[in-house]
Amino acid sequence: MSAQPVTCAKCRTPLGDLFNAPELQPCPGCAVPTLVEVFPALFRDRAVGATAEAILTAGEAGCFFHPQKKALVPCEGCGRFLCALCDVELNGQHLCPSCLDLGRKQGRLKNLENHRDLHDRTALLLATVPLLLIWPSVICAPLALFRVFRHWKEPGDYVRPGKGRFIIAGILAGLQVLGWIGLFLFVAIR
């Protein structure tokens, strides 16, 4: 299968020559400034999804979930026979959907991420919520700074990755710490 041509949104002219240009280029059909960024996957052939074969002879094993489909491999978790539709390969293991779900829930599958601590949100909460009463920021601001510096390189949110929350939390917590140091110095000197 070949890649579908990318076309102009206004006039539907193919934009084959404008792929990954560093700046806006005029459309050859309507001269609208256009920026076309494509991934290399656009040029790869698409793999057709696997389909399960029907059982041809009476002696062949059938899939546990689809008895009319031919079994290809046994599940390495429970031993059930699986067709091409039900076979999920993860780290070289062939698993059925039930074992995959059970492994996800129990945390037995190492490469399947079930939980992610969002340290950037926690640091931002530690820096902002104590501002409502002021006095808890004596403890929470240093904790927020600790979380910012300790977890800076860890992955953040799935939806909005980035360091924005860490930066805001660090600035707010730093200002709170400086404010408390200034207050203690003012009281001590006075």
Predicted confidence (pLDDT) per residue in 30-48, tens digit: 988 888 877 766 666 665 6
Burial class from Cβ neighbours inside 10 Å (0-12, 13-18, 19+) for residue 97 reads middle
Predicted confidence (pLDDT) per residue in 48-105, tens digit: 655 667 766 777 888 888 888 888 899 988 999 998 888 888 878 888 888 888 887 7
Shared domain check, 64 and 104: yes
Shared domain check, 110 and 148: no
Shared domain check, 152 and 136: yes
Shared domain check, 23 and 1: yes
Provide, rounded to the nearest whole percent, the portion of the chain with pLDDT above 70: 84
Shared domain check, 163 and 138: yes
Answer with the one of 115, 132, 155 that is the final residue of a domain: 115
User: Residue 40: its pLDDT value, please?
Assistant: 66
Query: Domain span at residue 170?
Result: 119-189
The C-alpha atoms of residue 92 and residue 88 are separated, in whole angstroms, by 10
**Number of helices and strands (H, E) in the chain?**
4, 6
Q: Give pTM, 2 decimals.
A: 0.45
Shared domain check, 61 and 27: no
The partner residues of 26 in beta bridges, in order of sequence, read 33
Beta strands in 18-86 (DSSP E): 25-26, 33-34, 73-74, 81-82
The partner residues of 94 in beta bridges, in order of sequence, read 89
Shared domain check, 133 and 106: no
- What is the domain count for the chain? 3
User: Residue 1: its pLDDT value, please?
Assistant: 42
Answer with the one of 115, 149, 166 that is the final residue of a domain: 115
Answer with the residue of higher pLDDT: 23 or 2.
23
Shared domain check, 135 and 176: yes
Average pLDDT, the chain: 82
Shared domain check, 169 and 127: yes
Q: Which of 2-11, 63-72, 166-175: highest mean pLDDT?
A: 166-175
Mean pLDDT of the region 158-181 = 88
User: Residue 108: its pLDDT value, please?
Assistant: 72
Question: The domain that contains 59 carries what CATH number?
Answer: 3.30.40
